[in-house]
Structure 1
């Protein structure tokens, strides 16, 4: 199983679709979570640029104007006898709103008995070293870590990069995260998390799976 998450910062034209398609082809992705499509609905011709030669299914969450927008896409032919839960997350920026999301995700994690994967742009970090040239709020970090622990999830460390987002004035952070439970890790032992090239986004895509 090879899954990926990417805040593409827009997916409103075929050029962006080809950008994602090149990434998917290079890493042989089987499940893809996209954040910030920035369009109400991504059209089928654009989606077809992602997996041109394979049949796939995709579900979308509409953007709110130019903010947000989610896609979860999976190849149809993946053989498996396992029932797993994958949640594509695009967390808000406000701390009060984040707390509500953490409670909702914790409820899901604590009431699902099988393998779990929460992935994508959490807009949060697990420790101060994961923000560079940015404001650090320890209360936000503590709340996020408490959610991870109470949900019985494990933060997956990047094997090849320190940060996943790069902003103006040299700002950097690791806000794109993959959280797994022990059931997921046991199902695919020996897998690692790597970051790809950001291309035209300011976020690096994440790929979890075996080399």
Structure 2
């Protein structure tokens, strides 16, 4: 199952839906997660602009004011949702992948900026993770880095780094290399990100 996680910075901006749908079709994406939707009352008409006419399941979390908002959408022929959890900072979807017996949890995370709020979020995610069996995939923006070398364009906060590493350890998570990075990505206008 191929997953795509993107900070959309608003679903209403012209061209973004076509851009995401193009990536979905080219890369054969089965699960898309968006953060910073900045749009309350998401409906299937909006989701279809990103997904197209193919089989579709989806869940969303409205933003707080003009900030935040999460959407997960998936191919119901590949992934069957059977549960989940929602909060302003996460959207977790539990389901089964066709042909695979073990449950999978796909979590879209959008962490707050303040360290105390991040710690609360990580405690809650750790609690859910450790109480629920199956395979887990967490994606999104944790607004934290593990080591100083990962911090680009800002100052590394060792307390935040320590807390983030504790979360990863306590939740029994492993980091793996992702495809693409800022230097390889372009925005909807074709500009490098």
State TM-score, norm by structure 1: 0.74
- The reply to whether residue 118 of structure 1 matches residue 138 of structure 2 is yes
Aligned length: 172
- Residue 27 (structure 1) aligned with residue 47 (structure 2): no
Contact 2:103 2:133 in 1 (8 A): no
- Runs (4+) of structure 1 exceeding 6 A deviation are 201-204
Distance 1:155 1:33 in 2: 18
User: Root-mean-square deviation (CA), in Å?
Assistant: 2.3
Match of 1:85 in 2: 105
Matched, 1:74 2:74: yes
Question: Structure 1 residues 199 and 104, CA, compared in 2 at 3 Å: closer, same or farther?
Answer: same
Q: Secondary structure at the match of 1:89?
A: strand
Match of 2:118 in 1: 98
Q: In 2, distance between residues paired with 1:135 and 1:47?
A: 37
Question: Do the aligned partners of 1:37 and 1:70 also contact (CA within 8 Å) in 2?
Answer: yes
Q: Please give the per-residue CA displacement for 1:72-110, whole angstroms capped at 9, x wherever unaligned.
A: 111010123331111111100111100000100111111
- Gapped runs of 5+ residues in structure 2? 79-97
1:41 maps to which residue?
A: 41
* Structure 1 match to 2:16: 16
- C-alpha distance in 2, partners of 1:51/1:97? 32
Q: Could you say which structure has the greater relative contact order, defined with CA pairs below 8 angstroms and 6 or more residues apart? A: 1
- Tell me how far apart the structure 2 counterparts of residues 26 and 147 of structure 1 sit (CA, whole Å): 34
Aligned to 2:94: none
- SS in structure 2 of the partner of residue 154 of structure 1: coil
Corresponding residue of 2:84:
none
Asked if structure 1 preserves the Cα contact closer than 8 Å seen for 2:15 and 2:188, the reply is: no
TM-score, normalization by structure 2: 0.81
Judge conservation of contact 1:8–1:203 (CA < 8 Å) in 2.
no
Please state how far the C-alpha of 1:203 moved relative to its aligned partner: 10
SS at the partner of 1:155?
A: coil
